[in-house]
Amino acid sequence: MAVTTGRKARWALIDVVVVVYALFPVLWIASLSFKTKETLADGNFIPREWTLQNYADIFATNEFIRPLINSLGIATIATLIAVVLGMMAAYAIARLDFPGKKALIGVSLLIAMFPQISLVTPLFNIESALGLFDTWPGLILPYITFALPLAIYTLSAFFREIPWELEKAAKMDGATPGQAFWRVIAPLAAPGVFTTAILVFIFCWNDFVFAISLTSTEASRTVPAALSFFTGTSQFEDPTGTISAAAVVITVPIVLFVLFFQRRIVAGLTSGAVKG
């Protein structure tokens, strides 16, 4: 079937609509972040006067740098742990025969659907009692918990795709189960693990509910929570410009991830939901 230019043009137009839809809010907040204080309230979509002052401001105070470090540290640690634990469990689910497999799948399904807010009250109290409130581990633990179902689903979907006969082959070639895993299965699973790590990181990076309920100071407050407490350089200043700049800073890495790993992220997001 010959593809006419007309049809192509129509699709191109539709694509443009989609692109505008997806990028409008992002461009808008980026625009705000580049506006000077004077033009901030002019309502223009494109800044009339450009400035980097807002960026200079946020990196001049602990109000942003501390939360940024917290966000990075907490999300990275939680991702690492969740992916490692998820990998172990997913391997077992995809591959091994053992009692309690169904129960584990059921529990993680429950947790995936669980309203986080329901945990906030008891966790607040428990963490206060244990001295975990307003600490890194105090956030890392719930992040791991809610990231695990995601990690387990995505990884077990990836693991199921691996031709397991290779493991048998490795065993016949004289490998112990450990060697069979590390030398044959792990290299094949790496892309799936990487994708899962991205998804889990995005999840932790994005969280707001726990971040504002289980933290109270800069000791562990992450950027999303800190943003909503931003005051600007002085108490009386309108924080719009600085909030926008901070928002752009934490958005850029995610957008880059998405640009580079589009294919993998799509595969990861859809793997658990649809049976192939």
Site for another protein in 52-71 (CB under 8 A): none
Distance between CA atoms of residues 23 and 18, nearest Å? 9
The closest alpha carbon to 61, from 274, 230, 258, 265, belongs to 230
Q: Is the dihedral of CA 185, 197, 256, 136 positive or negative?
A: negative
Among 38, 59, 65, 176, binds another protein (CB under 8 A): 176
Give the helix/strand (H/E) hosting 256: helix 240-260
Q: Which stretch binds another protein (CB under 8 A): 50-58, 61-69, 87-95?
A: 87-95
| Positions 154 through 173 that interact with another protein (CB under 8 A) | 156, 159-160, 163-166, 168-173
Confirm or reject binding of residue 270 to another protein (CB under 8 A).
yes
| Positions 102 through 121 that interact with another protein (CB under 8 A) | 102, 104-105, 107-109, 111, 113-121
Q: Which stretch binds another protein (CB under 8 A): 51-59, 60-68, 264-272?
A: 264-272
Helices (H), 96-208: 101-113, 117-130, 136-161, 165-172, 177-179, 186-206
User: From the CB of 115, what's the least distance to another protein, in Å?
Assistant: 5
Q: State the number of binding residues for another protein (CB under 8 A).
A: 120
Q: Which stretch binds another protein (CB under 8 A): 47-55, 56-64, 95-103?
A: 95-103
Among 52, 65, 177, 229, binds another protein (CB under 8 A): 177
Q: Is the dihedral of CA 152, 154, 155, 159 positive or negative?
A: positive
- Burial of residue 246, with CB atoms counted within 10 A of its CB: 0-12 exposed, 13-18 middle, 19 or more buried: buried
Among 58, 152, 193, 245, binds another protein (CB under 8 A): 152
- Burial of residue 137, with CB atoms counted within 10 A of its CB: 0-12 exposed, 13-18 middle, 19 or more buried: middle
| Positions 196 through 225 that interact with another protein (CB under 8 A) | 202, 205-206, 208-209, 212-213, 223-224
Contact 137, 78 (CB under 8 A): no
| Positions 25 through 44 that interact with another protein (CB under 8 A) | 25-26, 28-29, 32, 40-44
